[in-house]
Chain A
């Protein structure tokens, strides 16, 4: 698993459109050269569209994720185990009882950022995530691990068998 995560981390750059705008075109252009294709993604309440992906090993994808829901969502790529661990952590951080916010994501961002490619998308915003598929795994999941969101439907499988 560690190997997988490392491979993922190497392929990772995340930007939000906000950030991309601020930093001008140069950053985006630099990575655009390596991008094999762009996938438009929708994060709603409580689903992703598309619901599953076929990606070739080594392929570099730019995800353009628009949040059309009423809540904040995240888009995290990782194997099932890592997703579950992340989910548990966010659940614990949100506390036993609701504190008004489906909280914990702020802290989570830093935490999973080190392990799994991830981006948090505010309601109504669009975010980008550039990611290169690893060569040595068959399956990965994408998910939103804000408490309750994965369970309610926000997950999908990435088939990497080419």
Chain B
């Protein structure tokens, strides 16, 4: 196993070293402080909804009346809370998780990010039949990994009702970082509307929850800035694409209350610390539909793990967390004061908030929310601009843009395109541009890129829409770098391309233009083959793509040290690739983790045999 190379310090050897150090010191007092990692049970495992410790855990799923954001409502609860309790397992355990369904419909729990036997994965109709009302299903699997994960229902839209919770696995051996205290931060998006009616609203009127559509006033403002013809042209362009440039999220703060550990911003859940401590924050995005930008004004954060996997530490000010991703960050508050944990929704329609404080009852300033951003060129690139008439765009020469081939770009005049973000243009084929030769050099004789190389068309150095990269240091995918190479170092034997497709207006979401209901069979992986999955986002929205049962090694340009993830964020127009070792025989779910996108058909079965 690759991880054994990361952590190569069994206790016996460490004790020998300590002994040596003690002799050298001549004083045992220096060794009086036990390493904090050695005793995970002694650490503060603060989670607002309680903790269930493994290896044997019993969970009861109910629909009950509970208050959320101070209002009585009817969520799904797990052992009496919504979202559910923190499940805490230990690497090396044989977990036994008994889930009793007290709902009046079938349910399930999927252990998100865990590598386990296919029958224990919790996807109804694929891993098992689901859990019928009144029944108990016992999940049994060996715990062979560690880190920060989560669990949630994989039945219908139940996840939107709070059927989710954090899952933490304590490492059997020392982790590649050190901390004094930890807090789990689970982000969710709660709606007081019935999820089915949210879905109906999306299907009947795209933009139903989007109150940020451009208005006639914006139109005249644009005319002032850009001139009439350019403005009219941009408008008609968006109209032809059946999109609005302000479609950042399809379900927004107009129906969502964003929760942190089940608490609304007003309730101000508080995580405690002592000044000078190193604190590990395990941040999980358990939302149905919402991406967040997370920061703690006044504190630098150091990212030490992504999707439960350790990465080389990256000091940052803010990170974007896609739906279903997890990030572990360390913070060191030096002052005896309160800090705001601020998770702003990507579409800027709201935020989740908590306070990091030395005592209860404190709070710090809540930062101002940023303005909504317009989708720029990268989203248009997603739709393929061939055939669109750009002749009206004053001053622009797009004559060479047929098929998005920018071979003639040297002559392009962008001077009149203020307000459009060209930093994001890598989503298109720039193959003829000087400077692309580096990426060509990584090409193998087979015509495929070398393992670990970033695909042309990827934008791993960008966090995405609505972020000013000069404002603060933002985590980007390019930063993620493993400590050691993963076990399988083979070059991919083949490439599998999948397009992320959709029609916003009809709320149809799919892979390769086929909804799950329209496909004839599963995607086939040969057992133990090494392949490259290439995801091409043809839509103008972000999609968090999740593969069950196997890791995806994100080819972010870090060569042998590419990180492995369970969920990959693919930005509009972006081309993202991952290496997969198909070592898990069975049928596995593969889908967009935006709940309503998955339900609308952005879902496939991967069969490994």
A38 touches which one: B6, B24, B330 (CB < 8 A)? Answer: B24
B484 at the interface (CB under 8 A from A): yes
Task: For the complex formed, measure the closest distance between the CB of B281 and the CB atoms of chain A, giving whole angstroms.
Answer: 13
Q: Which 10 A-B pairs have the closest CB atoms?
A: A153-B178, A148-B313, A151-B302, A152-B313, A45-B176, A152-B177, A39-B24, A40-B20, A54-B30, A70-B483
Please, which residues of chain A bring their CB within 8 A of the CB of B31? 50, 52
The distance in angstroms between the C-alpha atoms of A153 and B277, with both chains bound, is 11
Q: What is the bound-complex CA distance between A68 and B8, given in angstroms? A: 8
Q: Which residues of B contact A46 (CB under 8 A)?
A: 176-178, 304, 313
Contact pattern, A 25-63, Cβ under 8 Å of B = 1, otherwise 0: 000000000000111111011110111111000000000
How many angstroms from the CA of A39 to the CA of B24 in the assembled complex? Answer: 5
Q: Is B14 part of the binding interface, using a Cβ–Cβ cutoff of 8 Å? A: yes
Question: Known contacts A53-B30, A70-B6; is A98 also within 8 Å of B21 by CB?
Answer: no
A148 & B314 in contact (Cβ 8 Å cutoff): yes
Any B CB within 8 A of the CB of A105:
no
A112 on the B face (CB < 8 A):
no
Q: Determine whether A71 belongs to the interface, using a CB cutoff of 8 Å to chain B.
A: yes
A72 to chain B, nearest CB (A): 11
Q: CA A4 – CA B179 in complex, angstroms?
A: 29
Q: Give the CA-CA distance A39 to B30 in the complex, in Å.
A: 12
Q: In the complex, what residues of A have CB within 8 A of residue B17's CB?
A: 40, 42, 49
Contact mask B164-189 → A, CB, 8 Å, 1/0? 00000000001011110000000000
Which residues of B lie under 8 Å from residue A97 when comparing CB positions?
461, 476, 478-479
Max chain A Cβ within 10 angstroms of own Cβ: one of B30, B314, B469: B30
Q: What A residues does B558 contact at CB under 8 A?
A: 100
Contact with B along A115-143 (1 / 0, CB 8 A): 00000000000000000000000000000
- A residues with a Cβ closer than 8 A to B are 37-42, 44-47, 49-54, 68-71, 91, 96-98, 100, 102, 147-149, 151-154, 159
Q: Does B441 contact A (CB under 8 A)?
A: no
Q: Within 8 Å of chain A (Cβ to Cβ): is B5? A: yes
Given contacts A45-B6, A147-B314, 20 further A-B contacts (CB under 8 A): A37-B25, A38-B24, A39-B24, A39-B25, A47-B178, A49-B18, A50-B18, A70-B5, A70-B6, A96-B473, A97-B461, A97-B476, A98-B481, A148-B313, A151-B302, A151-B313, A151-B315, A151-B332, A152-B304, A159-B30
Q: How far is the CB of B314 from chain A (nearest CB, A)?
A: 6
**Chain B residues within 8 Å of A41, by CB:** 21
A15–B404 alpha-carbon span in the complex (Å): 57
A54 adjacent to B313 (CB under 8 Å): no
Residues on the A chain within 8 Å of B32, using CB = 52
Contact A53 B25 (CB under 8 A): yes
Cross-chain contact B24 with A40 (CB below 8 angstroms):
yes
CB distance from B212 to the nearest CB of A (A): 29
C-alpha spacing A49/B178, complex, angstroms:
12
The 8 A CB mask of B31-59 against A (1 = contact, 0 = none) is: 11101000000000000000000000000
Across-interface contacts of B479 in A (CB, < 8 A)? 97-98
Of B24, B35, B315, B483, the residue contacting A47 (CB under 8 A) is B35
Closest to B473 in A: A96
B26: Cβ under 8 A from any A Cβ: yes
B29 touches A (CB below 8 Å)? yes
Q: Shortest Cβ distance from B122 into chain A, in angstroms?
A: 33
B446 within 8 A of A: no
Number of A-B contacts (CB under 8 A): 103
Query: Does B9 interact with chain A (Cβ within 8 Å)?
Result: yes
Q: Which of B281-335 contact A (CB under 8 A)?
A: 300, 302, 304, 312-315, 330, 332
Cα-based distance from A159 to B33 in the complex (angstroms): 13
A71 engages B483 (CB within 8 Å): yes
Complex contact B302–A49 (CB within 8 A): no
Known: A45-B6, A70-B5, A97-B479. A54 touches B176 (CB 8 A): no
Q: How far is the CA of A52 from the CA of B18 in the complex (A)?
A: 12
Cβ contacts under 8 Å, B18 to chain A: 49-50
Contact B9 A102 (CB under 8 A): no
Q: In the complex, what distance in Å separates the CA atom of A71 from the CA atom of B30?
A: 26
Indicate the member of B9, B21, B33, B178 with the most A CB atoms within 10 Å. Answer: B178
A to B CB contacts below 8 Å, 9 in the list: A39-B21, A39-B25, A44-B9, A51-B35, A70-B6, A96-B473, A98-B481, A151-B300, A153-B330
Q: Are B312 and A148 in contact (CB under 8 A)?
A: yes
Q: Is there an interface contact between B312 and A68, defined as CB atoms closer than 8 Å?
A: no
User: Which of B21, B174, B300 has most A Cβ within 10 Å?
Assistant: B21
Q: A102's closest neighbor in chain B, by CB?
A: B312
Bound CA–CA A71/B484 (angstroms)? 9
* B25 adjacent to A152 (CB under 8 Å): no
By the criterion CB–CB under 8 Å, are B30 and A50 in contact?
yes
In the assembly, what is the distance between CA of A148 and CA of B9, in Å? Answer: 21
B27 at the interface (CB under 8 A from A): yes
| Interface presence of B88 (CB below 8 A) | no
Scan residues 322-370 of chain B and give those whose CB is less than 8 A from a CB of chain A.
330, 332
Does the CB pair B21–A152 fall under 8 Å? no
A148–B315 CA distance with the chains assembled, in angstroms: 5
- In the assembled complex, the Cα of A149 lies from the Cα of B484 at a distance in Å of 16
Residues from chain A with a CB closer than 8 A to the CB of B25 are 37, 39, 50, 53-54
Q: How far is the CA of A70 from the CA of B469 in the complex (A)?
A: 30
Q: Is B278's CB within 8 Å of the partner chain A?
A: yes
In the complex, chain A residues whose CB is within 8 Å of the CB of B21? 39-41, 49-50
B549, chain A: closest CB distance, angstroms: 28
Q: Nearest B residue to A97 by beta-carbon distance?
A: B461
Residues in chain B near residue A68, CB distance under 8 A = 8-9
Whose C-beta in chain A lies nearest to the C-beta of B304?
Answer: A152
Bound: A154/B312 CA distance, A: 13
User: Within the complex, what minimum Cβ distance (angstroms) separates A133 from chain B?
Assistant: 13
How many Å lie between the Cα of A135 and that of B30 in the bound state? 19
The CA-CA distance from A38 to B21 in the complex, in Å, is: 9
Distance (whole angstroms) from the CB of A101 to the closest CB of chain B: 10
Nearest A-chain residue to B314, judged by Cβ: A148
A137 CB to nearest chain B CB (Å)? 17
Indicate with 1 or 0, residue by residue over B84-127, a CB within 8 angstroms of chain A CB atoms: 00000000000000000000000000000000000000000000
Contact of A52 among B33, B330, B332, B469 (CB under 8 A): B33
B457-488 interface (Cβ within 8 A of A): 461, 469, 473, 476, 478-479, 481, 483-484
A71–B178 CA distance with the chains assembled, in angstroms: 16
A44 to B558 alpha-carbon distance, docked (Å): 22
Complex Cα–Cα for A147 and B5 (A): 22
Assembled-state Cα–Cα distance A138/B251 (Å):
57
A69 to B278, CA, bound (A): 21
